């Protein structure tokens, strides 16, 4: 008989139909607690949540019987990426995978082979296909409830809980760390991986304006850490699959302002270098609040910050992986005469530049791939950027041949 002091909770189940939470102990005994009030909203499609603390896994089952498995962050586990390759897919590629998964008639055999290979590598823990807040937003505003569910399910099943940290937070971290290095204080840089299982990584704290931020558990409090991780993962799955369509959001005026700026540059009688400086001024003005706040967070004296001036600020921007690529993409598009800006361009540029700054592979549409490739070349980065998923899979397969298989000795 197992010693009482050695007993532990091996499974936590939230059952919507039974309206209870079931705690299963290592000796097989159960305790049932009522779900009152129920955490499942009327628009939720979740039927059951099963969490295993020891193995760090969350299994969500929907009312339709579909299942989503999430890896969970393990406290003190270090880098859970474990040398897996990171492949970031633009929204159009997720749509392709969703159609393949649902057996759409128009899909070619090549698409089905591509999808099977990706899913196999994910299951074998050889790659991760992280989801981003951009994917959640684009999926949530799909008009058809059925198509929204299918697309969301595909993103969740392939991503398995892996996320790309909010690009707005990545940008702030990069600026902060650039100032720390400039101050010769490398010990003060932030250790926040871009592709992560961390709870609340999808959205930066700045997006919580006007709302109370959830408390951050201390590293010593394992229960608080697991509770926050479980809550965040459950909410992410529930929100992605919710039957209520997300609102498109207000027009910020960014597209019109960018179009006016591009049109103005087209009429300028200046060379490309002069125009690049004008674009840099435009970028610095846009990022002035982040620059000032992160300089203050890095304890840069105000006088020194002023002394660095425009050139120093541009150096901090240009030397960072994500915001540096964003700068290059913005310059490339503004310098291209006759550029027509679309409403989603800002979102695409922010997320794709962040992904390309840290991922191994990125797959996106041509009108974003070209400026992204140009930016990667100018910054000397080697991220593989592809327009077609099949081409990316070929390159991934080649890279995996030189990547050790998890769990196998390389001796």
Residues 292 and 316 in one domain: yes
Answer whether residue 145 is part of any domain: yes
Summarize pLDDT for 87-141 with one digit per residue, the tens: 999 999 999 999 998 876 566 888 889 999 999 999 999 999 999 999 999 999 8
Residues 369 and 293 in one domain: yes
Summarize pLDDT for 258-301 with one digit per residue, the tens: 999 999 999 999 999 999 999 999 999 999 999 999 999 999 99
Residues 67 and 88 in one domain: no
Helix (H, G, I), strand (E, B) or coil at 362: strand
Residues 199 and 348 in one domain: yes
Query: Domain end: 71, 94, 124, which one?
Result: 71
Q: How many domains does the chain have?
A: 2
Which residues form the domain of 41?
8-71
User: pLDDT truncated to tens, each residue of the chain (411 aa)?
Assistant: 456 667 888 999 999 999 999 999 988 899 999 998 888 999 999 999 999 987 889 999 999 999 999 999 887 666 789 899 999 999 999 999 999 988 765 668 888 899 999 999 999 999 999 999 999 999 998 889 999 999 999 999 999 999 999 999 999 999 999 999 999 988 889 878 999 999 889 988 877 554 444 555 554 577 788 888 899 999 999 999 999 998 887 888 889 999 999 999 999 999 999 999 999 999 999 999 999 999 999 999 999 999 999 999 999 999 999 999 999 999 999 999 999 999 889 999 999 999 999 999 999 999 999 999 999 999 999 899 999 999 999 999 999 998 766 655 443
Residue 134: name the closest of 87, 92, 106, 104 by CA: 92
Residues 306 and 178 in one domain: yes
Answer whether residue 215 is part of any domain: no
Distance in angstroms between the alpha carbons of the first and the last residue of the chain: 42
Write out the DSSP string of 55-124.
TTEEEEEETTS-EEEEE---TT---TTTT-EEEEE-HHHHHHHHHHHTT-TT--HHHHHHHHHHHHHHHT
CB pairs under 8 A, 24+ apart, for 34-42? 39/14, 40/16, 41/238, 41/242
Residues 202 and 88 in one domain: yes
Cβ-proximal residues to 107 (8 Å cutoff; 6+ apart), any chain:
96, 99, 100
Answer whether residue 278 is part of any domain: yes
Q: What is the predicted pLDDT for the residue at 77?
A: 66
Q: What is the predicted pLDDT for the residue at 200?
A: 82
Residues 56 and 138 in one domain: no
Q: What is the predicted pLDDT for the residue at 411?
A: 38
Answer whether residue 76 is part of any domain: no
pTM above 0.85, yes or no: yes
Query: Domain end: 50, 71, 92, which one?
Result: 71
Answer whether residue 216 is part of any domain: no
Residues 115 and 160 in one domain: yes
Q: Tell how far CA 356 is from the center of its chain.
A: 12
Distance (Å, whole) CA 259 – CA 65: 47
Residues 238 and 333 in one domain: yes
Residues 281 and 394 in one domain: yes
Helix (H, G, I), strand (E, B) or coil at 180: helix
Answer whether residue 134 is part of any domain: yes
Distance (Å, whole) CA 279 – CA 378: 16
């Amino acid at each position: 008989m197992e010693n009482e002091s050695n007993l532990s909770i091996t499974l936590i189940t939230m059952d919507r139909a039974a309206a209870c939470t079931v705690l299963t102990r290592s000796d097989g005994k159960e305790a049932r607690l009522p779900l009152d009030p129920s955490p499942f909203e009327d628009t939720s499609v979740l039927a059951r949540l099963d969490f295993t603390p020891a193995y760090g896994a969350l299994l969500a089952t929907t009312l339709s019987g579909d299942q989503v498995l999430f890896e969970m962050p393990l406290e003190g586990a270090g880098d859970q990426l474990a040398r897996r390759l990171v492949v970031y897919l633009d929204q159009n590629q997720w749509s392709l995978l969703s159609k393949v998964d649902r057996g759409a008639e128009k899909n070619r055999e090549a698409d089905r082979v591509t999808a099977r290979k990706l899913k196999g590598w994910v299951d074998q823990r050889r790659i991760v296909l992280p989801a981003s807040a951009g994917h959640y937003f684009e999926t949530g505003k799909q008009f058809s409830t059925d198509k929204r569910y299918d697309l969301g399910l595909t993103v969740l099943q392939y991503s398995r809980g892996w996320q790309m940290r909010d690009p707005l937070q990545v940008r702030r971290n990069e600026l902060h760390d650039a100032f720390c290095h400039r101050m010769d204080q490398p010990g003060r840089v932030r250790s926040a991986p871009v592709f992560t299982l961390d709870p609340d990584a999808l959205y930066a704290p700045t997006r919580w304006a006007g709302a109370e931020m959830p408390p951050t558990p201390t590293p010593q409090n394992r229960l608080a850490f697991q509770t926050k991780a479980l809550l965040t993962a459950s909410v992410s799955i529930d929100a992605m699959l919710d039957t209520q369509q997300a609102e498109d959001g207000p027009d910020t005026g960014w597209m019109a302002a960018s179009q006016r700026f591009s049109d103005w540059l087209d009429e300028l009688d200046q060379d490309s270098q002069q125009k690049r400086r004008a674009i840099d001024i435009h970028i610095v003005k846009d990022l002035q609040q982040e620059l000032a706040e992160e300089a203050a967070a890095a304890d840069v004296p105000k006088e020194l910050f002023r002394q660095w001036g425009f050139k120093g600020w541009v150096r901090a921007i240009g030397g960072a992986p994500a915001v540096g690529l964003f700068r290059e993409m913005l310059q490339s598009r503004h310098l291209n005469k006759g550029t027509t800006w679309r409403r989603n361009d800002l979102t695409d540029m922010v997320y794709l530049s962040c992904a390309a700054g840290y991922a191994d592979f990125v797959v996106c549409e041509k009108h974003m791939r070209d400026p992204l490739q140009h930016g990667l070349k100018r910054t000397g980065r080697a991220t593989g950027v592809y327009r077609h998923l099949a081409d990316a899979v070929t390159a991934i397969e080649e890279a995996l041949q030189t990547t050790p298989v998890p769990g196998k000795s390389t001796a």
